[in-house]
Amino acid sequence: MLGEDHSLMNEFPKYSDRILTLNKQNPLFAKNADRYHLLDTEIRKLELNNAPIDDEALHQLKQERALLKDILYREISSV
């Protein structure tokens, strides 16, 4: 669905406390989470505003977001 919110808190609500803790205590996690958030926001804006971007460029952004999501999830779910 276009413009869907894929924020970490929305994607992993049961891990919200862990996400907040990692953001405060783990600089690499915080950096990756920030990049993920920026990508998600950019993708959402592009989709909602029907911005002039070719399919390949949008696909690249979505792939980067998915890769970061996997990296972040591994950190979030490891206890």
pLDDT for 1: 55
32 inside domain = yes
Structurally, the chain folds into a number of domains equal to 1
38 inside domain = yes
| pLDDT classification of 2: cutoffs 50, 70, 90 | low
Q: Give the DSSP H or E segment for 33.
A: helix 27-48
pLDDT tens digit string along 16-75?
999 999 999 999 999 999 999 999 999 998 888 877 788 899 999 999 999 999 999 999
Residue 16 belongs to what domain range? 8-77
Mean pLDDT, residues 11-20 taken together: 96
51 inside domain = yes
The model carries a pTM of: 0.89
Between the alpha carbon of residue 23 and those of residues 26, 41, 74, 76, the distances in Å are 6, 18, 14, 10
State CA 72 to chain mean position distance: 9
3 inside domain = no
Compute the distance between CA of residue 31 and CA of residue 5 in angstroms, rounded to an integer: 20
2 inside domain = no
1 inside domain = no
Q: Is the pLDDT of residue 3 over 70?
A: no
